[in-house]
Structures are given as C-alpha cells and as structure tokens.
Structure 1
Amino acid sequence: MSSMFQETLAFVLAASGWVLVSSTLATDYWQVSSNDGSVITTSTFWSNLWKDCVTDSTGLSNCRDFPSMLALNGYIQACRGLMIAAVCLGFFASIFALIGMKCTKIGGTDKNKARIACFAGVDFILCGLCSLSSCSLYAHRITSEFFDPMFMDMKYELGAALFIGWAGSILCILGGSVLCFSISDSFTKSHSQANYIYKGAARHSHISSHPRGQAKSVNQRPPPDNSNSSRVQHFDKNVYV
C-alpha cells in the first residue's frame, strides 16, 4: 500500500469523524427521559448541552435555554469546553492535512509536507480524544443517576447524540493514527535513501581520486623485486674467481 493512498484514506476517515463530532455539538437528543415502568407516555423530556425540552404526544416541543453559564452543572461546562475544543482542533487539522498531503502542490518540500501532515495527524487524535472524553463524561452522569436507587428525580437514558459522538471520535483517532504511521514510513524511506546516496558518493570519490586512465585496480599486484636475483647472479659470477 503506497503512502499516498494511506494519507488519502486517513484524511477521509479523520474528516468524516470531524464532521460527525461537529454535528454532535448541535444535536438535540443527548439524554432522553426513561420510559421504564410507565404504561402510557404522554410527553418525552430530552436535553442537550444548551437547553432542556419537552415534546408532547402531538409533536410540539417546548424548550428552555439554560439561563446562565455560571449556574450550570460542572459536567455540562466541561462537556461544552471539550466539544468546542474538538471542533476547533479538527478544523485546523483538516487544513494542515490538505497542505501536508503528497497529492497537493502546496507546503514546500517533501520533508516540510511530512512534518505538517504529522502535525495534522496529532491534531486529529486530540480531536477524537476530546470528543470521546466529553461523550463519556455525559454518559457516565446519566448511567450513575439511572442506577442510583436513592436518586428520586426523573431518570434519563443515553441519547443518539452520544453514539454519534463516539463514532466520530473513533474515526478521528483511527484516521490520525494512520496518517502519522504513513508519515513515519516516508521518513524511514527517505533516511535510508539518503544513507545509500551518501555511501555511493563516498565510494565514487574514492575511486575517482586517481588520474583518469590510471585508476588503481583492486587486484593489481606490485611489480616483482629483482634485487635479490641480481645479488644472486653477482655472487655466482664471483664464485669462480
């Protein structure tokens, strides 16, 4: 699988997850009133991060916005902050991913594009973690109240927005991880190619240091030394004197 195909697949996954996370922020049904133990349901209570609503049997809804941000429960404020941070991180990550991908013509050299794409992958992972933490925190509050026998107020169930948020978070984390792994593979290949070129250039410079036409051969042997033979011949001549 080529690195360009991996980058494209990772961007599609992460961008799809960011779209789901962004839609979760404005979705109505974060929690819905429980129908456990009721025979006839005449109205349905539901709420999200911004308002509480009730829908009657005719389909009409009456909503009440939260009056003050400072008067809200702590978990709702935390969920708001995490979801807004997730949307912002996913937005900037999408822009950086488009700049750093190999199929685009902007971003500078391949090394700079790889760094930008790796930064985008980390942003996508952070986006998924923020959204996952927000949805999990909200779901934990709902389930703890639902299974608490001492809680006498209205009990709620998990809404559709939480499942959409979890799905988007998983897609963001998966896409960001694949994007980071594809960039690491390209860094490894470029490093190995650079080492190969450097070694080849060093060998070429070593061979070309000799004058042209007089390159030193590896198997060339030094000329034989005739000094010993001349001494022996001179000695043989003086034997008969």
Structure 2
Amino acid sequence: MNKSLIQILGFLISTLGWLFVCCTMAMDFWRIISIGGQGGSWIIKAATYWSNLWRDCYTDTAAITNCRDYDVLWSVTPYVQGTRGLLMVGMGFGFFAAIFCFIGMECTYIGGKENAKDKLVFTGAIFHFVGGISDIAGYCLYVNNVARTTFSQSLERGILRYGIGTPIFLGLVGSFFIILGACLYAVTVYRVLFPKRVVYALAPRTYMAPQTYGGSRNRTPYYGPSYYAPPRQLQSSRSTSKISRVSRISQVTEDRLERDAFV
C-alpha cells in the first residue's frame, strides 16, 4: 500500500479511538446494578444504582434519578481518582501525538523535509502508543476494583455487587484503536530506526618505492618536483668535491706508477 494511504488510515483509526475515550469520560453507567423486578413481576419495578467518574446516582421505581456529586478532589475514592488521572494523562499524550502526526504526514505540506516529517510521525506514534497504554491501565484499574468487590466471598452486609457498564467496553475498544493507529504510523517510518546501509568499496593501496634525488624521475604525486630535493648550491658543491677527489686520486696513481718504473 501507499505510504500516504496507510498514514491516513492510521489517522482515522487513532482519531476514532480518542473519540471513544473522550465520550466514555462523560458517559454514565460505568458500574450498574438493578434491584427488584425479578421473576416476571410487573408491579415492583427495578431500582437501579449506577456510578461514573463524577457522581453516584440512584434511579427509583418512578424513574426519578437522585445523584450525589463528588464534592472535592481529595474526597474521591482512590481507584476513581487513579482512573481519572490515567485517562487525563492519556488524553494529554494523544493531543500532542495528533499534532505531530498531522504535521509529519506525507499528504501535508508542512513539517520540512521528508526525514524531518518521518521523525515527527514516529514521535507521534510513540505518543499515541503511550497514551493508549495509559487509557487501558485506567480502565483496567476501574474494572479490577469493581470485579474484586463483586466476586468477593466475604462481603459486608449492605455493600452492592456492581457490574461493568457500557463505557468500559467502549473505552477499551477505543484504546486498542489508538494502539493500532500508532502501529500503522510506525510502519510507514520504520526506516528512521533502520536506515539503509551503504557499503563503500575502497580501491586497493599501491606501494611506491622511494625516489632518488635529482633527475627527471624526481617527482611525487603531491608536490610535482620532489619537495625534499637538496638545493642547487649544495648539488654544485657536491659535484666540485667529487671532481677534486678524482683529480687527487689520479695524481697519486701517476706518482706511484713513476716510482715503480724507477725501481
């Protein structure tokens, strides 16, 4: 598939997931239990107790709902407070992830060069993934507390055994959508982590024998004429010294020949 098409698909799926998560924070019936109205009785209606992240409510047989809001922050039940915090953290990550991915997508004309856009998309994918994990942790914390109370063998008298409501399932589906969108983003820019390897073939080295001073061969591949050649005055003095040595040797040999002949 095309890179831009996969990124658009990831954007739609992750956006749908965050929409589900945001909706669950405002929905009712996170936990619910109905009392009465059993055995086919049409006279006694069912009384319903339900709760969400912001209040506890009771709906009587006349369909009148009475609610008790959570007044202050530190008076909230600890597991409800933890669920709130985890969902808020996930939404914060999701906000920055949506911005990074939108700027770095191939179909947009902002964000700079291709390498910079890929890095933005990869960063947004990581933020989406972390936000989805945070949301899943929040829902699982709420479910764990409700299930532990419901299936407890030694439950005190007067404590209700709640069940799981619709927002929990909708939020879990939205969290998995967010993680799926993050994976789709990451697939399109995996070359940021695993770039192509370029192998350079080096030419074999050759050995160059040292060159003597003077002559037409006295040239190096870097400096033209030899850089280390002696100056001309030194060469001329050496040549004169060689000539004087030859003349001395010739004189000595002539004297020695005359003496031998005389003997």
TM-score of the superposed pair, with normalisation by structure 2? 0.69
In structure 2, what is the equivalent of residue 210 of structure 1?
none
Change in Cα spacing, 1:126 to 1:34, as seen in structure 2 (3 Å) is farther
Q: How far apart are 1:35 and its partner, in Å?
A: 4.8
Q: 2:175 aligns with which of 169, 177, 186?
A: 169
More helix by share: 1
Q: Does 1:2 align with 2:2?
A: yes
**Mapping 1:200-219, distance limit 5 Å:** none
Change in Cα spacing, 1:186 to 1:6, as seen in structure 2 (3 Å) is farther
Secondary structure of the 1:70 match is: helix
Secondary structure of the 2:163 match is: strand
Secondary structure of the 1:149 match is: coil
Q: How far apart are 1:32 and its partner, in Å?
A: 0.4
Does the 8 Å contact 1:6/1:179 carry over to 2?
yes
Does the 8 Å contact 2:33/2:49 carry over to 1?
yes
Secondary structure of the 1:9 match is: helix
Separation of aligned partners in 2, 1:133 and 1:125: 12
Q: Does 1:48 align with 2:81?
A: no
Secondary structure of the 1:57 match is: coil
Does the 8 Å contact 1:34/1:155 carry over to 2?
no
Does the 8 Å contact 1:21/1:86 carry over to 2?
no
Q: Does 1:109 align with 2:113?
A: yes
Separation of aligned partners in 1, 2:186 and 2:62: 51
Q: 1:82 aligns with which of 74, 82, 86?
A: 86
> Who wins on radius of gyration, i.e. which is larger?
2
Separation of aligned partners in 1, 2:33 and 2:23: 22
Question: In the alignment, residue 180 of structure 2 is paired with which amino acid?
Answer: L
Separation of aligned partners in 1, 2:182 and 2:34: 37
Separation of aligned partners in 2, 1:109 and 1:36: 65
Number of aligned residue pairs: 197
Secondary structure of the 1:59 match is: coil
Secondary structure of the 2:76 match is: coil
Does the 8 Å contact 2:37/2:46 carry over to 1?
no
RMSD: 2.3
Unaligned runs of 5+ in 1: 204-241
Q: How far apart are 1:38 and its partner, in Å?
A: 4.8
Larger RCO (CA within 8 A; separation ≥ 6): 1
In structure 2, what is the equivalent of residue 158 of structure 1?
164
Unaligned runs of 5+ in 2: 204-263
Question: In the alignment, residue 175 of structure 1 is paired with which amino acid?
Answer: G
TM-score of the superposed pair, with normalisation by structure 1? 0.75
**Mapping 1:108-187, distance limit 5 Å:** 108-151=112-155, 152=157, 153-185=159-191
Separation of aligned partners in 2, 1:36 and 1:133: 34
* Identity score, percent: 31
Separation of aligned partners in 2, 1:5 and 1:186: 19
Q: How far apart are 1:80 and its partner, in Å?
A: 0.6
